Amino acid sequence: MLYRVKLDLAFDKEDIGQAVFDKAKAVLSKAVKIAKSGEEGEISFIEIHKCYHDEELPKPCEIMERIEV
């Protein structure tokens, strides 16, 4: 059995978002890849990005950093 955590949080201050990302990064090495023998598995990852969905003319998100297991 695995215990999976999923987060999708938006903050209006970069330092708060970066702090949450850094906490996740500190435990990322303990995450496991979900895969059956000989198959590609689901990817465990953390990502921080700039999200422009709240702007009057939305544009695509801009990934700042993404780390995959």
How confident is the model over 25-57, as pLDDT tens digits?
999 989 887 766 667 777 788 999 999 988 889
pLDDT the model gives residue 9: 94
- Give the model's confidence band at 13: pLDDT under 50 very low, under 70 low, under 90 confident, else very high: very high
Contact (Cβ atoms closer than 8 angstroms) between residue 32 and residue 43: no
pLDDT the model gives residue 49: 95
pLDDT the model gives residue 44: 82
CA dist., res. 9 & res. 30, Å (int):
22
CA dist., res. 16 & res. 46, Å (int):
15
pLDDT the model gives residue 37: 66
Query: C-alpha 55: how far from its chain's center?
Result: 22
Average pLDDT, the chain: 89
Percentage of the chain exceeding pLDDT 70:
93
Query: Which residue shows structure tokens 């689901």?
Result: 42
